[in-house]
Amino acid sequence: MADVVVGIQWGDEGKGKIVDRIAKDYDFVVRYQGGHNAGHTIVHKGVKHSLHLMPSGALYPKCKNIISSAVVVSIKDLCEEISAFEDLENRLFISDRAHVILPYHAKKDAFKEKSQNIGTTKKGIGPCYEDKMARSGIRMG
């Protein structure tokens, strides 16, 4: 059986904190979609962790963590998050079909924000999804 935590407000509902509270009891935690624009802060064993791409299960040694193909990945930000953890070997799996956010995505995002004031974080998430839908994006694999 699987349990799913779903948000219906486009973020900021506290999904990450809920997953953190229950992750220790699960074998797998999956980051289904999104990018590094949002995040959540967790205090685990007295240490503060800010997670943007990493699934909350990364804090628990028995939990395997999956970043799915629907996630858009900033390699730089993911590497920074990974470096905050001691042992993710055989516990972190990233879909080879997840799309990579490239520098031009962030530039395009910033230009759109300046010209259209759409409320973006300017991190390139929207333009990366545009490339994904157009089947022209670069994937992890």
Place of tokens 């759109």: 112
Of 64, 108, 123, 132, which one is the catalytic site residue?
Answer: 132
Whether residue 132 lies in the annotated active site? yes
Q: Which long-range contacts (CB under 8 A, 24 or more apart) does 18-22 make?
A: 19/55, 19/56, 19/57, 20/44, 20/56, 20/59
Q: Which amino acid is at 56?
A: S
Catalytic positions: 132
